[in-house]
Structure 1
Amino acid sequence: MRKIINTLALIATVAATSSCNKKLDVIQEGTPTVADFWQTEKSIVKGLNAAYQPFDDENFYGRGCFWFIDACDDMIVGRGKPEAEYIKNFDRSFIGGSYTEGQWDLRYNVIKRANDILRYAPAIPMSTENRNRYMGEAYFLSGLMYYQLAYNYGDENAGVPIVDKYNPTPGVTLPRAQNVNVNYDSVIVDLKKAASLLPYFGTYKKEDFGHAHKTAAFAYLAKTYLFKKDYANAERFADSVILSGKHRLLDNFSDVFTVANNWTDEYIWSAYSTAAGAGGWGSILPGVMLENTGWGKYNGWGYYTPTKELYDEYETGDLRREATILKPGDEFKYFGEMRTYKSNNSLSGYQFRKYMEPFGYSNPIGTYLSPSGDHPTTALNPPLMRYAEVLLIKAEAALMQGKNADNEINAIRKRAGLKPVTNATMVNLKHERRCELAGEWADRHRDLVRWGDAQAAYAKPLHGVTGAEVWPARDFNPKKHHVWPVPQRVIDASGGLYKQSW
C-alpha cells in the first residue's frame, strides 16, 4: 500500500519552517481551480492533510470546548479571567467572546474538507486499499466533528446543520437539524462507514500514527449511542472494541499519561501533539493546566485547577488520586529536579498532574516541550478516548438495561488498587467515571447534564485545598443550560434563521 503522507508530522514540519504561522499550508502547483486540483491521488492526500490542520488551533483541543468542560464540579478557572468565569457561572455575558466563538467554524471546516475527499476520491485512479482508507478517514472525521457539535449545541428542539456531502450549497445558510437525534443518526451513518473501511491501528507504521482507525470508529459509535440513550447499541459497539483484542488497560494508571505510552494498547484516539519546531503542534492542554508562569521555567497558563470535591471523591488507597492531582507537599519532577508542590497562583491550591510528565525531563524544551510558551504543546498526546472509557461505556450501557456490569467496573477498580464491588449500580458507575477520567476530554459536565445531576451538583459551592470556598454555588437551569449557546457570529450570519438558545 502506498503510504499516505503523515498529516501530523507534515503539519509539524511546516510549523517549524513557516515564519508567519504554525498551521499547514496546503501546497498547490500554481493556483488550480477546484476541478483541476482533484485529479490525482496526491491531491486526495493533500486534501486529507488539510482536514486535520484545524486540530492545531489552540482552541480546538487545547482550550475552546474545554471551557465548557471546566463548568463541571471537578475544576475551577484557576486564575482570574472574566470570560471563563461567565462560562463557568452559566452567565450569557460570555456569548460572542473569543474563547468558544470559533468552535463551530473550526469543526465545520474539518467537515467541509472531509466531504471533499468523499466527493472526489471515488473517481480518481488509485488502489482500492488506499481509497478505502482515505474515505474511511474522511467519514470518521465528519462523524467525530458532528458528534462534538451535536452534544454541545443540540437538544430535542434543534440540532446542528447537516451539510450535503455530495451536493453542497456554498453561501447558503442551512437550517438546523430538527433535533439532536437527527444529528446522532447522521453521526452513526458516518462512523459505521468509517469502521467498514478503516484498517486497525496495529497495521499502521509509525509515520502514520495519529490517523483514524477502525476501533476509534467503534468507540465513538458506542459513545454516540450512549448519548442517544440507545443502550443496546452502545453496549454492542463497546463490545466491538473490547472483543477485537486490540486493546487492554495498561498495568499502571499513571503510565497512561506518559510520552512513551502515547500509542500503546490503551490508546483509542488522542489529540496528537508534538514539541517539534519553533512553535510545536497540537493540544496545548498540558501547558494550559501548568502552574501560571511555570515556577519561572516555562510559560504555564494556570487554568483548570482541581477542586477539593474531586480530591475527596477518591477512596482511600485509590492510586489514581495522586496520579491525577498535585496537592501541597507532594513530590514531583520538574525540569529534571525533584520539587515539592506549592502553588503561587492556583485559586484552588491544586494542579492536575496527569499531563505533567513531559515537564519532568532535564532540558525538555524543544524535545518534550514546545519552545513557544505561547503555544505550549508537549510530546504527550492528551487522550480524547481511551480503552478505560470504552469499558465504562459498556458498563453504563449494561446497567441501563438492567444487566450486571461488575466485570468492567472491577477491571477499572483493580488497576486503581481498590477492592471489587458486587452488583454495581449507577452510583458506582458515576464514581468510577469521575475518578478515572478527571481532567480529560471525556467531559464530566456533559455526564452530569445527561444524567440529570447537573442542577443539584452545581447548587453546591466548590472548595480549595484549605477547605475554603473558592467558587460559589451556581444557578443551573436544566431547561436552558443543558446546551451551550451557538456562537453569536453564527447566529448573526444566519439572518434570523437560527435562534439563540440562552
Structure 2
Amino acid sequence: MKIKKYLLFSVGLLILAGCEDELDLTNPNSMTAVEYWSNEEQAVAGVNAAYTPLINDGYYMRMTPALTDGRADDFRGDSPWPDLMQISNFTILPTSGPIRWMWEAYYQQVFRTNQVLKNVPDIEMDEDLKQRVLGQAHFLRGLAYFHLAINYQKVPVILTPAQGAEDYYQPTATEEVLWAQIVSDFTQAQELLPIDYQAVSGPDRGQVGRATKGAATGFLGKAYLYRQEWSSAAEEFRKLIEGPEVNVYSLMENYADNFSPFSENNAESLFEVQFATPDQVGGSVKNYGGEPQNAWMQVSSVGHTYAQDGFGYSDFLPTRWIYNEYKEEETENDNVDPRLLISIASFEPEANSTTVYGGVEWPHAEEAIYPRKYTHDGYGFESESQGGNELSEINYRLMRYSDVLLMYAEALNETGQTQEAYQYINQVRNRANLPDLEETKPNLSQEEMRDQLAHERALELSIESIRWHDIRRWGWLYEDEKLALLRERDSEFESWRPGKEYFPIPQSELDVNPNAEPNSAN
C-alpha cells in the first residue's frame, strides 16, 4: 500500500492561550494540544501531518526544486515572473514571496515534528510503533533543517513547541549548532527507523513512502559530505553500498524509471515525496501554501513549471553547456549518452527523437532545448497536466542510489583513495553504457578526479535540485577559474556577488523576530 494522501489537518496548531474563565470556551470541533496527544491513532496522525509540508508550494510542490535548479549552471531563467528570474541571477530581495514560502514550509515541518517529539513519548502505545513514529519525526525535522541550512545559511534552531510568548522569538543559531542538530536528527532517525514497512506490525504495515533507515543513512552521509567530514560521510555511504543491514538499494536498469509516474518508490530511491492527482486521492483546492486542509490536492507543479512552450510554463531552460556536456563522450556503441534525451527535450534526428509528448512532431526551432526530466514528456502522455495546469502526480525523488555511489566516490577521493573511487563511478557510467573510466582516464590525480566527479554528477543528476548545492559546497564561486567557467556556461552568474549563494532571510521574519539575524545575502 502506497501512502498517497497524508492526513492534512493541522495537528496541535490550535493551542489556546490562557483566558478569563468566562471566555474559556471549548470548541467541540477542535482539540488543544493537551487534549489531543492521548493514543496511538493520534500519534500516527501527528507524524502523518509532519509529512504534509513536503507537498506545500514552498517545499517540493514547486519552489524548492525550481529555485534550486534555477541557480545552477545547467538551468537558466525563462520566466515572466520577476522572482524566478531574480533568483536565477542572484538578485532576489528579502521581500520575495517565494523566498518566504520556502522558509514557512520548512518551519511548518519543524513545528509539527517538534510536537510529535514532545508528546508521543508519553503516550501509552505499542513500543515498536512509537519508535517508528519518533524516527520519522527526527528524519523530517533533520530534513527541514538541512534545507534551511543549505538555502539560508544560519537560522533559529527550535527543538520544542512554544510554551509562551517568550518562546516565539528564537535567536539565530550558529552554523555549527545548526549542522550538529541536522546530524543528531538523522542519527536518531537511523537508529529508530526500519529498513522498510513490509514486515512491521501496526497501522503502517506495508506502506511505501515513509522515511526508512536507508533514507536517514543517506541524508546523514550527505550532511557529513556537505560539511567536508569525508571519513564520516564515507562510513555512512558504505553502509548503503556494502551493508549488510541497509544494503537494499540498486540502480534501475532504465534511467528513465527514476522520473516516471509508473515506477515510483523503486529500488534506486532512498526517499521521495509522494504526489497524486485528484482522480487518485481526491482534493479540490490546490496545495499552494498556508495551513493544509482536508480539501487540499496532492499535486506537483514541477512538471508544468518546467514543461516546454505549448505544454507548460517553460519558466526555465537547460543551458547549452549541459546539452553539450552530454555529447562530450559517446557510448560503447557510438551513440549519444542516453541520459540526454531523458533529461532534455531536443530535436535529434540521428537518435530518432523528433517528437514530443504523444507523438507531436517537434514544434519548436530545431536548435531549441527544453527540460524533460520531471515532466510527462517521454512517458506516453499527450499533455503535461492532462488538460489542466499544475496537476502532476510524479513523485519527487530526493535521493537516488546513483547519487550515493557518486558521493561515496567523492568521499573516497577526498580521503586519498582515488583509485578505489573508480569502481563506484563506473557503476553509474555502466548504466549509461559509457566506457570504463579506468580505461579512458586511468590514474587520475585527486584534483583531476574532483573535476571528473563534477562532470559525472552533472550528467547523472542534472535538473534534480542537486547541481547548485554541489557548486556552492565545492567553493567554485570563490575560485576565479571556476567562477569564470560558470559565467561562460550561464551568463546569470555575471551578477553573482559574494554572499549571494544563499537566499536572504525573509524580511517578514526579521520584522517580527527581534532576535533573528540577517545572513550574508541580506
Cα distance in 2 between the residues matched to 1:438 and 1:121:
40
1:197 aligns with 2:192: yes
Q: Deviations over 1:272-328 (max 9, x none)?
A: 11113355414321221112441xxxxx22122111100111223322112211113
TM-fit CA distance, 1:459 = 4.3
Residue correspondence of structure 1 range 45-64 to structure 2 within 5 A: 45-64=44-63
Residue correspondence of structure 1 range 322-471 to structure 2 within 5 A: 322-329=341-348, 330-332=353-355, 334=357, 337-343=358-364, 349-357=368-376, 360-361=379-380, 369=385, 372-373=388-389, 375-378=390-393, 380-404=394-418, 405-422=421-438, 423-424=443-444, 425-441=449-465, 443-454=466-477, 456=481, 459=484, 471=491
Cα distance in 2 between the residues matched to 1:363 and 1:304:
21
Residue in structure 1 matching 2:495, options 459, 470, 475: 475
CA 1:25–1:472 in 2, change beyond 3 Å: closer, same or farther? Answer: closer
8 A Cα contact 1:216 1:269, kept in partner: yes
Cα distance in 2 between the residues matched to 1:48 and 1:286:
28
TM-fit CA distance, 1:207 = 6.1
SS at match of 1:59: helix
Q: Deviations over 1:92-122 (max 9, x none)?
A: 4x32121221211211111111111111111
Cα distance in 2 between the residues matched to 1:268 and 1:499:
34
TM-fit CA distance, 1:29 = 5.9
Cα distance in 2 between the residues matched to 1:202 and 1:416:
32
Cα distance in 2 between the residues matched to 1:202 and 1:46:
17
SS at match of 1:262: coil
8 A Cα contact 1:333 1:360, kept in partner: no
Residue correspondence of structure 1 range 222-261 to structure 2 within 5 A: 222-242=221-241, 243=243, 244-261=246-263
Cα distance in 1 between the residues matched to 2:483 and 2:232:
31
Alignment gaps of 5+ in structure 2: 13-26, 287-296, 332-336
Judge which range, 256-265 or 488-497, deviates more.
488-497
Cα distance in 2 between the residues matched to 1:117 and 1:473:
42
Residue matched to 1:85: 85
Residue matched to 1:19: none
TM-fit CA distance, 1:202 = 5.8
TM-fit CA distance, 1:417 = 1.1
TM-fit CA distance, 1:196 = 0.8
Larger Rg: 2
Residue matched to 2:107: 108
Cα distance in 1 between the residues matched to 2:6 and 2:225:
35
Residue in structure 1 matching 2:181, options 186, 190, 201: 186
TM-fit CA distance, 1:160 = 1.5
Q: Deviations over 1:447-486 (max 9, x none)?
A: 11111213555546879xxxxx9845513234x1232211
Give the counterpart letter for 2:157 in structure 1.
I
TM-fit CA distance, 1:46 = 2.0
TM-fit CA distance, 1:74 = 0.3
Cα distance in 2 between the residues matched to 1:120 and 1:412:
44
Residue correspondence of structure 1 range 226-305 to structure 2 within 5 A: 226-242=225-241, 243=243, 244-275=246-277, 276=280, 277=282, 278=284, 280-294=297-311, 300-305=312-317
Cα distance in 2 between the residues matched to 1:239 and 1:342:
46
Cα distance in 1 between the residues matched to 2:305 and 2:191:
37
Give the counterpart letter for 1:436 in structure 2.
E
Report % sequence identity. Answer: 26
Residue correspondence of structure 1 range 93-104 to structure 2 within 5 A: 94-104=93-103
- TM-score, with length taken from structure 1: 0.84
Cα distance in 2 between the residues matched to 1:7 and 1:169:
35
8 A Cα contact 2:39 2:123, kept in partner: yes
SS at match of 1:76: strand
SS at match of 1:311: helix
CA 1:472–1:137 in 2, change beyond 3 Å: closer, same or farther? Answer: closer
Cα distance in 1 between the residues matched to 2:373 and 2:319:
15
Residue matched to 1:41: 40
8 A Cα contact 2:71 2:89, kept in partner: yes
8 A Cα contact 1:272 1:283, kept in partner: no
CA 1:223–1:282 in 2, change beyond 3 Å: closer, same or farther? Answer: farther
CA 1:103–1:362 in 2, change beyond 3 Å: closer, same or farther? Answer: closer
TM-fit CA distance, 1:177 = 1.1
8 A Cα contact 1:55 1:282, kept in partner: no
Cα distance in 2 between the residues matched to 1:473 and 1:363:
36
8 A Cα contact 2:406 2:457, kept in partner: yes
Give the counterpart letter for 1:495 in structure 2.
P
Cα distance in 1 between the residues matched to 2:427 and 2:120:
43
Alignment gaps of 5+ in structure 1: 12-22, 295-299, 464-468
Cα distance in 2 between the residues matched to 1:164 and 1:202:
27
- TM-score, with length taken from structure 2: 0.81
8 A Cα contact 1:460 1:472, kept in partner: no
CA 1:100–1:293 in 2, change beyond 3 Å: closer, same or farther? Answer: farther
1:501 aligns with 2:513: no
